[in-house]
Chains A and B, each alone.
Chain A
Amino acid sequence: MSNAFFRNRWLPFWLASPQLLVMFLFFYLPVFLAFFWAFHLERPFGGGSQFVGWANFQRVLADQEFWAALRRTVVYMLLASGSSILVALILALAADRAVRLSPLARNLLIWPKAVAIASVGVIFLFIFNPFLGVLAPLNEVFPGIWNPRINPLHTWIMIYIANIWSAIPFTFIILLTGLQAIPETLHKAAAMDGAGPWRRLRDIQLPLLTPQLFVAVVLEVADSLSGSFGLIDTMTQGGPGGATNMLVYKIYVDGFKAYDLSGAATQTAMLMVVVAGITALQYLFLEKRVKYER
Chain B
Amino acid sequence: MIENARSIDRTATVLLLLGSVFVLLPLAFVAITATQSYGDFLRNNFSLLPGTHFWDNVAAVWSLTDLPRQIMNSVIVAALVSGGKCFLAFTTAYAVVFFRTRYVPLVYAAVVASIMLPIELRVITVYQVASNLALPVNAAANTGGLWAVLFGAPLDLQLNALDSYAGIALPLMAQGAGTLILVQFFKTLPRDLARAATMDGAGPLRFMADVLLPLSKGPLLSLFIYFFIGGWVDYMWPLVAASSPEMQTAVVGLARLGPGMEEDIPNYPLEMTGAIMVTVIPLVLIALTQRRIVRGLALSEK
* A contacts, CB < 8 Å to B: 1-9, 11-13, 15-16, 18-20, 22-31, 33-34, 37, 87, 90-91, 93-95, 97-102, 104-119, 121-127, 129, 131-134, 136, 165, 168, 170, 173-174, 177, 187-188, 191, 197, 211-212, 215, 222, 225-226, 229-230, 233-234, 248, 251-252, 255-256, 261, 264-265, 268, 271-272, 275-276, 279
Contact = CB atoms under 8 A, between A and B. Distances in A.
A115 B98 contact: no
Contacts of B254: 118-119, 122
A255 B88 CA distance: 31
A117 to B, nearest CB: 6
Contacts of A25: 129, 133, 136, 170-171, 174
Contacts of B174: 22-23, 25-27
A268 B122 contact: yes
Given A119-B279, A248-B121, A7 B16 contact: no
A119 B251 contact: yes
A31 B282 CA distance: 31
B8 A226 contact: no
5 contacts: A2-B191, A26-B173, A94-B15, A111-B287, A230-B236
A105 B170 CA distance: 36
Contacts of B286: 110-111, 113-114
Contacts of A187: 2
Nearest to B104: A12
A111 B23 contact: yes
Interface of B: 1-3, 5, 8-9, 11-13, 15-17, 19-20, 22-24, 26-27, 29-30, 33, 41, 45-46, 84, 87-89, 91-92, 94-101, 103-104, 107, 110-111, 114, 116-130, 133, 135-136, 170-171, 173-174, 176, 179, 186-187, 189, 191, 193-195, 198, 204-205, 208, 229, 232-236, 239-240, 251-252, 254-255, 257-258, 265, 268, 271-272, 275, 278-279, 282-283, 285-287, 290, 293-294, 297-298, 301
Contacts of B205: 11
Contact of A226 (B110, B118, B125, B195): B118
Nearest to B114: A27
Contacts of B9: 97, 99
A2 B20 contact: no
Nearest to A180: B298
A34 B124 CA distance: 8
A28 B116 CA distance: 12
Contacts of B45: 131-132, 136
Contacts of A115: 233, 279, 282-283
Nearest to B123: A252
A190 to B, nearest CB: 9
Contacts of B127: 255-256
B209 to A, nearest CB: 12
Contact of B16 (A101, A110, A126, A188): A101
> Which of B96, B128, B173, B235 has the most chain A CB atoms closer than 10 A to its own CB?
B235
Given A105-B16, A211-B301, A30 B99 contact: no
* 10 cross-chain pairs, A with B, having the tightest CB-CB distances, nearest first: A116-B233, A12-B95, A26-B174, A226-B120, A30-B125, A114-B282, A5-B194, A33-B125, A94-B12, A94-B15
A133 B32 CA distance: 12
Contacts of A116: 232-235, 251, 278-279
B187 A105 contact: no
B107 A126 contact: no
> Which of A90, A91, A211, A271 has the most chain B CB atoms closer than 10 A to its own CB?
A91
A121 B236 CA distance: 13
Contacts of A165: 22-23, 26
A1 B183 CA distance: 10
Contacts of B101: 7-9, 12-13
A275 B121 contact: yes
A80 B290 CA distance: 25
A191 B29 CA distance: 44
A12 B107 CA distance: 9
A248 B12 CA distance: 38
Given A107-B287, A226-B118, A252-B236, A26 B107 contact: no
A101 B171 CA distance: 41
Nearest to B198: A5
A87 B15 CA distance: 10
Contact of A174 (B24, B234, B301): B301
B88 A18 contact: yes
A33 B128 contact: yes
Nearest to A215: B301
Nearest to A133: B46
Nearest to A280: B116
Contacts of B11: 94
B121 A271 contact: yes
B285 A114 contact: yes
A290 B129 CA distance: 40
